[in-house]
Amino acid sequence: MPSAGALPAPFITPIHRDCHGLQLPVNKIDTSTLIELSTDVPNCKIYFTTDGSKPLPFQRKIGGKEKTFKYFAPFLLKGGKRTLKAVAVSRDGLLESAVVSKDFNVVDLNNSGVPDGYDSSTSGATLQSFLNESSDEYIPKPGKVSGMPRRHSPKRSQRKAPKEAWGSYSFQDPAATGASNESNYPPIPDGPFNPTNYSGTQINVWGAPPGTWPNMNANNGMVTFGNGPPAPPYPVQYGFLTEQMINGLKPKEEPKKQDSLTLGDIRKLMEETRPKPTPPAIEYKPVWKDPPLNAISPGNDDYQGNILHIYAHMLDMAKSKVHFKKNIGEYKMGKILEAKVEDEGDGYRLNLVLEKPGTQRGLNKKSAKVNVPKKPVKETKPASPPPAPPKQVEPPKPVEPPKPVDPPKPKKADPYFEKEIENIPCEGTLKPFEPFNAEADAEVLRNAMKGLGTDEDALTNVLAYRSSPQRAQIVAAYKTMFGKDLVSDIKSETSGNFCEALKGLLLKPAEFDAQMLRSAIKGLGTDEDVLIEILCTRSNAQIQEIKKTYKEKFNKDLEADIIGDTSGHFKKLLVSLLQANRSDSKEVDRNMANADAKALYQAGEQKWGTDESQFNKILASRSFPQIRATLEEYQKISKKDFEEVIKSEFSGDILSGLKSIVRCVRNRFQYFARQLEKTMSGLGTDDSSLIRIIISRCEIDLVQIKEEFRKATGKTLEEFIVGDTSGDYQRLMLALVSGGPPPKAKSGKAFVESVKNKTDEQLDEEVKLENEPKKEDPTLLPFPGFNAEQDCEVLRKAMKGLGTDEKAIIGVLAYRSMEQRQKIALTYKTQFGKDLAAELSSELSGNFKTLCVDMLLGPAEFDAKQLNRAIKGLGTDEKVLVEIICTRSNAQLNNIKASYKTMFNKELEQDIAGDTSGHFKRLLIGCLQANRPEGTEFNRVMAKQDAQALLDAGEKKWGTDESRFHTVLVSRSYAQLRATFQEYAKLANKDIEDSIKSEMSGDLKNGMLAIVQVIRNKSAYFASELHRAMKGLGTDDNTLVRIVASRCEVDMVQIKEEFQKAYKQTLAMFIQDDTSGDYRTMLLTLIGEPPAKK
């Protein structure tokens, strides 16, 4: 007995024929015995197998062959030993019974030894075989069967008569068969049934033999239930035949030939005879008697809305303008003959010509006036001719200004992107690069992968900033120039997600989609999410191009592959979408929308179960505007949101597919934003989906997707990517998401490629451009309405008594300039007789205390204190020495030396000489002399000489002449060194920074690199130092405090810009992640991005 709430196992009942008193074994049947499956629970489905395998109701096909059958009616089995297994499943598929099994030995009547000419439907040999096989269990009555004589027909040429599928046997009580669960015979079904041979070909399609069955009527092969004819008056004889019996047999009538019908033909006939439902009544839109008077018409191809808008305003004008009302109401008018709408720049002109009843258009035009010449008057001599009146000169007509022409809509870079489903305004982050040179880009990529190591930044700076057609040209140019495939080279030089993303960028859009579909299908399992995302969001034209590309690329049919890897209604949905028959019309039929909404309601909520085909038909074939209107009508009918309805009616992959269509119809940008959030939510990252969505949308609508992502999550997409990715892969993804121009080539191989083919005049112009004064914008400005005494009172209250009001301290120190802070410190000592720095040190702690106390110093004192802190004690912080001494101007260095002497009564140069050594000491002392020329003049000849000297001292020399590098880098002006770096790149075919890295080491290398990087871009140098301080595990708080406090009143705006360009994340985001508490609040306020008040 099944447990409570479970389904009972089904019954397996062989319908035996009466063998006239012979007890046949329960597992012995023949090929004419029907097998019936039944269950005690109504509305259940039964599935079975005939090869002994377990029935799998939800995976009926294995290897393309159907193994599990759904039971419709009694069926036959082929000859041999058969193991029949059956299982019952509830209508909703949630409950499943235990598997019931039964073995049968099926005797094949067609192959039994029947004598020639023997015309009986009962074979003696068949019966003998039954008895011989089961002699151990069943003993026939004495004298009843002893042996079966075999008789041969005298005519050997006579063919065997065809055997009947059913003989004229009396029906046997199923209780006598001995089968389990057979004490109660299943209820007789209503109407005819169709037994089907599930192990072979179709049998008699009408489901009954041409003879008679007990308790049944057989009429032309159609089985109906009721009282049949009486049993024959004589029993059938078994075991012997006589000549008289043979002669007394009637000749067998040839069965009437009838056209064979299949089960599908019968179903079609039944469908045709079924009464067709009455079509839904067409609901016409009501005529507006008082239409809404809106300020602006809807537009967007909604012609009905625009006409209604004109109608409403014409009625309003008739109410206010009596003359217009009188004129338009006076005439009887017919239909509209002509209509024209013109854009006049500052308004729209609507010209209508309506039919005048009783008059044909064009035949009753007003005739033009004809000047009839008068008869000449007799000539007379006038006394004096009257003076001719002066001619009136008409003023020139004002020239109408040309009508403004709407700018053409910018086209997408690739024609594939122009085939989107709806013409919704959108913008991609990746734009075509200008000026573009495919050969130059191919050369850069080749150099980036040539030799030992790979320049991943060069790969990113090219491929992440070129549009799809431009990347295709680069691939072709690369193969032409070097005879190699760019994709293969990238596969061999890179790895991981970075490699996968680069390979995806090198494919055309249709190829990329086809590749994603192929990857989702091949191998074990199927990635249904990929199939849903691509097929449910692409337009008809895009799907057609994907199918064509899939066939060309993989020599397979996409539809056949999807059919082989999916099943059920989900398969039907995908196949429907693959037909690319969705309507492209932008017009909305409200009547159709209402009818579709009713059909969906009746197929879902109003129906016991769900008619999935109705949902499939409407959502896969209607245009997106039409589906949008249908969803609105459904809301009115059901009072429920359609997405909630499909969640309650469907499950699994079909639910995901329908939800994707509905969400894409409602807001395509929001759909992809939600998909991106799913890839990075929770533990781990779905990198394949992240790559697929960003590459496929970065040239279409990623700008709008990013905005929807921010609305949904409260964070930017860049923040999520930074938190879930790393390394070169992270930089590539951020470049595609952020967009904008590529970073300028100021170092590395890209810099070498940019200068080696330029003339001296072109290089001079670049140096002059770089020599122009750079804009420097601070984030901390003087506080307007500054009052030192009032600020001192606030600070005193904040530190007085128990506890400290850190917010009050931040509110003063983080919003006052350096001069204002120094005045506050002086006033505090005057008013309260205490040192403000000492008070802050006693009340605060940690990095917050360090930052607040150091903020009270001037720039020179601040740098002097940082240098002293780096020198004193055990060890030396060389990074601080390099950052300050190698980046300050001559005047700043002189002020620092003077402040150091005043504050510590020591010479800075002596302290540095005592704590450093070698070439690094000579570099620092050389910079401390503050003798660098600071003009903008430069000499190209000297630049070439210095470049040759550096090359001879480094790359061309065994070992390195560090003094030559020291002389050039310390004594030349910034303008002269910029020109020298250009010439060095042309001579050595290598950037000066790369040469320093390979020729130097340790602190000397860091010092020289700092000089070079500050010369090229000081803001970028400090941005890289800030990034170094916060990247990885832990935070270098000393560097963070030093740079933020020293640059917030100089060029922090530019540093923030360079930081975001280089690392695709804002400086504030890094500080937010790496710091906490009042320390974080202070830093964010100093860089101009204070946290929002809660």
For 640-660, what is each residue's pLDDT tens digit? 888 898 888 888 888 988 989
pLDDT at position 411 is 58
421 confidence band (pLDDT: 50, 70, 90): low
pLDDT at 804 over 60: yes
Rounded mean pLDDT of the chain? 80
116 confidence band (pLDDT: 50, 70, 90): very low
Measured between alpha carbons, how far is 179 from 27 in angstroms, rounded to an integer? 8
Mean per-residue pLDDT for 1012-1016?
A: 92
Other Cβ atoms less than 10 A from the Cβ of 868: the count is 16
Among 114-128, 452-466, 635-649, where is mean pLDDT lowest?
114-128
pLDDT at position 808 is 94
Question: Higher pLDDT residue, 918 or 586?
Answer: 918
278 confidence band (pLDDT: 50, 70, 90): low
pLDDT at position 383 is 44
pLDDT at position 161 is 43
Measured between alpha carbons, how far is 78 from 294 in angstroms, rounded to an integer? 76
Are residues 477 and 485 in contact, defined by beta-carbon separation less than 8 angstroms?
no
The tokens of 792 are what? 């001192």
pLDDT at position 291 is 74
Mean per-residue pLDDT for 764-773?
A: 87
Mean per-residue pLDDT for 1006-1031?
A: 92
pLDDT at 952 over 80: yes
Measured between alpha carbons, how far is 505 from 463 in angstroms, rounded to an integer? 7
Radius of gyration of the chain (CA): 47
> Is the backbone peptide bond immediately before 435 cis, with ω within 30 degrees of 0?
yes
Question: Higher pLDDT residue, 830 or 330?
Answer: 830
CA dist 1092 → 431, 469, 1081, 1088, 1089 (Å): 34, 44, 10, 12, 9
Own/partner contacts of 709-717, CB < 8 Å, gap of 24 or more, are 709/673, 709/676, 709/677, 711/673, 712/670, 712/673, 712/674, 712/677, 713/677, 717/676
**Percent of the chain at pLDDT above 90?**
38
pLDDT at 236 over 90: no
pLDDT at position 140 is 38
Are residues 404 and 344 in contact, defined by beta-carbon separation less than 8 angstroms?
no
pLDDT at 111 over 50: yes
pLDDT at position 682 is 78
Measured between alpha carbons, how far is 296 from 712 in angstroms, rounded to an integer? 30
Question: Higher pLDDT residue, 667 or 160?
Answer: 667
DSSP 559-589: HHHHHHH--HHHHHHHHHHHTT---------
pLDDT at position 285 is 52
Question: Higher pLDDT residue, 149 or 750?
Answer: 750
Are residues 718 and 737 in contact, defined by beta-carbon separation less than 8 angstroms?
yes
Mean per-residue pLDDT for 312-341?
A: 81
| Model confidence pLDDT, tens digit, residues 912-925 | 999 999 999 999 99
289 confidence band (pLDDT: 50, 70, 90): low
**Percent of the chain at pLDDT above 70?**
77
Mean per-residue pLDDT for 461-483?
A: 92
Question: Higher pLDDT residue, 345 or 386?
Answer: 345
pLDDT at 77 over 80: yes
Among 294-308, 668-682, 1005-1019, where is mean pLDDT lowest?
294-308
pLDDT at 364 over 60: no
91 confidence band (pLDDT: 50, 70, 90): confident
Non-local CB neighbours of 725 within 8 Å, separated by 6+ positions: 497, 685, 687, 690, 733
Among 156-165, 417-426, 867-876, where is mean pLDDT lowest?
156-165
The tokens of 182 are what? 């057979």
pLDDT at position 315 is 83
List 216's β-bridge partners, or say none: 225
Question: Higher pLDDT residue, 265 or 617?
Answer: 617
pLDDT at position 366 is 41
In the chain, the largest separation of any two C-alpha atoms, in whole Å, equals 166
3-state class (DSSP) for residue 507 = coil
pLDDT at 393 over 60: no
Question: Higher pLDDT residue, 387 or 367?
Answer: 387
pLDDT at position 143 is 39
pLDDT at position 265 is 75
Are residues 786 and 816 in contact, defined by beta-carbon separation less than 8 angstroms?
yes
Please report, as a single letter, which amino acid is at residue 752. Answer: V
pLDDT at 409 over 70: no
pLDDT at position 362 is 62
| Residues 250-266: b if buried by 16+ CB within 10 A, e if exposed | eeeeeeeeeeeeeeeee
Measured between alpha carbons, how far is 814 from 852 in angstroms, rounded to an integer? 9
pLDDT at position 42 is 86
Are residues 1063 and 1069 in contact, defined by beta-carbon separation less than 8 angstroms?
no
3-state class (DSSP) for residue 349 = strand
Q: What angle do CA 746, 1011, 896 make, to 5 degrees?
A: 140
138 confidence band (pLDDT: 50, 70, 90): very low
Mean per-residue pLDDT for 75-94?
A: 89
The tokens of 91 are what? 């209508």
pLDDT at position 297 is 84
Tokens 């035009």 sit on residue: 365
pLDDT at position 423 is 67
Measured between alpha carbons, how far is 399 from 902 in angstroms, rounded to an integer? 78
3-state class (DSSP) for residue 142 = coil
pLDDT at 225 over 50: no
pLDDT at position 418 is 61
Among 321-335, 427-441, 967-981, where is mean pLDDT lowest?
321-335
| Model confidence pLDDT, tens digit, residues 733-748 | 999 998 888 776 667 7
| Model confidence pLDDT, tens digit, residues 544-578 | 999 999 999 999 999 999 998 888 888 898 999 89
pLDDT at 909 over 70: yes
Are residues 1081 and 810 in contact, defined by beta-carbon separation less than 8 angstroms?
yes
Measured between alpha carbons, how far is 724 from 400 in angstroms, rounded to an integer? 60
Mean per-residue pLDDT for 179-187?
A: 41
CA dist 1061 → 718, 780, 1030, 1049, 1084 (Å): 12, 22, 17, 21, 19
Measured between alpha carbons, how far is 349 from 1085 in angstroms, rounded to an integer? 56
Ordered structural domains, the chain, with CATH: 287-331 (no CATH), 424-506+667-742 (1.10.220.10)
CA dist 326 → 289, 314, 321, 356, 995 (Å): 20, 13, 9, 17, 91
216 confidence band (pLDDT: 50, 70, 90): very low
pLDDT at position 153 is 41
pLDDT at 968 over 90: yes
pLDDT at position 250 is 60
pLDDT at 475 over 60: yes
3-state class (DSSP) for residue 105 = strand
Q: What kind and span of H or E run contains 752?
A: helix 748-755
Question: Higher pLDDT residue, 884 or 108?
Answer: 884
Are residues 517 and 530 in contact, defined by beta-carbon separation less than 8 angstroms?
yes
The top-scoring range by mean pLDDT among 72-81, 296-305, 1057-1066 is: 72-81
Measured between alpha carbons, how far is 789 from 719 in angstroms, rounded to an integer? 43
